[in-house]
Amino acid sequence: MFSERRHKPSKIRSRQPAPKGVIQRAVGFELEVGNWHTYEHIGDRRFFWPWEHPKLPHEDFILFDRKSKLMEGDGFSVEADDQRPRLPVSDIEIITEPFEESEQGFRRLREVSANVGAFYEECKSKTSRLEYDRLVKLDKIKTARSLSPKYFFHSVGPPEIKAQGTMGLKVEALEQLMLDLGENPAGREPQEVSKRKHEGREWLFPSQAPENARNILTAMSPGMTRQACFRYGREEWAPDGKEWQASPEMLGFLSLVINYIEMTRAPLASYARAAFFLLARTDFATMFGMLPPMERKHFSSDNGDHFIELMEKVPWIEFTRFASPLFENGIYHDFPERNPDALKALSREQWLRGISQGVDHFTVERFPDQRNAWRLESLGAMGKKTDTDGDGTPKPIFELRSVKSQSDFRETETFMRRFFLYVCAMNRKADLKYGEIEKWDDLKV
């Protein structure tokens, strides 16, 4: 019978936490590989059910803890990653080193992506179309070094890669990023119409349906932000007798806040961070502190009343009950138990006021109900940590999650290259879209 005990070998080194404060500016990647499950052989008991794993030897294997390091390669490491915690499965995750936003960093990215591609293809070659239910010893793989001869992976089907990128991005670049993330820039038109209008353009999030509601909300957030700022400037605030014009920092920051509120309105049948395409690793209070002094002073005064008033000007959100929980309709988490009320301790108003007063309650550290705070995982988990730009400008750190699934690593390699150049272009205010930049020299145009 399968033992649910988890084990983390003492020889495996966990990743070290990032240093406090400002960190090296860089772009990194995580590649989640489905259908490759990882085990350690401990050799004296049996747990595999023969009807689920008919070709596995009935020796004892044990699952790894999440983030246990299994292998090391040139510029990357391989870790266990629990994708389906209710099942006896640990998929693998390939973590690259961070790449500096420079021509040298781009060259290193191409080297490392080639190394990862060689590792992926070698692992893939160990199983054939007819032999998916096969156990492979990691120390037999030559393109990366196994940390123990007892480590195996079990291939149960064709591998599927989900790529995600981590980057530091200037606050003022958020508005354009969210427009680019939304596959449907016009908001409501069918996918085919949008693509005809933008022929040849590459999309960060190709949808599976003609209209994708989550993409539409992401693309519409900047427009909703501009309407709210226009209404607030005309009706509520006129500094120096002039109508308020929101700064680029405010437009980017508020677009992300609106997106978070919209994405948490629907019931979520997963973990909390899965609600967001663009996940803020730096907390929102730190981003609020990056607004220009005049805006920061105004919207933090009176215990954040003005910030709430600004949010009430947002189309659609003006009908939102700000006293209701952020996850008003619940989160149906599968691990360790279903609890739709687990994250209802934080109201929208409490979150927004806290941000304006320097506290982001939508993080593990600051969540009002500490019994369930662990469910927030990496939301704002880096706190005040930021990247820095060449001129010393702090850049919040974001994670672009699960762009798309694919089995051909060449597509993943193309995404890594284009995404790196896209982030560099955004931070340099270059008017270039994702997919329009193929080489470093394109940034000099």
pLDDT digits (tens, 9 = 90+) for 2-34: 333 333 333 333 334 444 554 456 799 999 888
- One domain, residues 257 and 298: yes
DSSP per-residue letters across 291-306: S-HHHHHHHHSGGGHH
Greatest mean pLDDT among 103-117, 153-167, 303-317, 393-407 lies in: 103-117
Residue 296 to residue 395: CA distance in whole angstroms:
17
- One domain, residues 247 and 382: yes
Domain assignment present for 45? yes
Average confidence score pLDDT of the chain: 77
SS3 content of the chain, % helix, strand, coil (to 5): 35, 20, 45
Listed residues 353, 377, 395: the one ending a domain: 395
Residue 306 to residue 257: CA distance in whole angstroms:
15
* pLDDT reported for residue 197: 44
DSSP conformational letter for 14: P
Domain assignment present for 177? no
- One domain, residues 4 and 148: yes
- One domain, residues 195 and 156: no
Closest CA to 159 of 415, 409, 404: 409
- One domain, residues 158 and 123: yes
Tokens standing for residue 233 = 């400037």
**Lowest-confidence range among 110-114, 276-280, 390-394?**
390-394
* pLDDT reported for residue 429: 82
- One domain, residues 249 and 302: yes
What's the pLDDT band for 108 if we cut at 50, 70, 90?
A: very high
- One domain, residues 391 and 403: no
Residue 96 to residue 75: CA distance in whole angstroms:
6
- One domain, residues 319 and 412: no
- One domain, residues 409 and 331: no
The parent domain of residue 147 ranges over 1-9+18-169+399-445
pLDDT tens digits, 183-217: 544 444 444 544 444 444 455 554 433 344 455 66
Residue 343 to residue 173: CA distance in whole angstroms:
30
- One domain, residues 294 and 317: yes
Distance of CA 405 to the CA centre of its chain: 14
Q: What average pLDDT does the segment 385-395 reach?
A: 78
pLDDT tens digits, 150-160: 888 878 788 88
Report how far apart the first and last C-alpha atoms of the chain are (Å, whole number). 63
Number of domains, the chain: 2
Closest CA to 356 of 312, 409, 298: 298
- One domain, residues 79 and 194: no
pTM here is 0.81
Q: What average pLDDT does the segment 382-396 reach?
A: 81
pLDDT tens digits, 26-81: 799 999 888 888 877 766 444 444 334 444 444 455 555 567 789 999 999 999 87
Residue 115: Cβ-neighbour burial (10 angstroms; 0-12, 13-18, 19+)? middle
Domain assignment present for 59? yes
Residue 280 to residue 260: CA distance in whole angstroms:
10
Domain assignment present for 303? yes
pLDDT tens digits, 216-229: 666 678 888 999 99
- One domain, residues 60 and 158: yes
Contact between 73 and 120 under an 8 Å Cβ cutoff? The reply is no
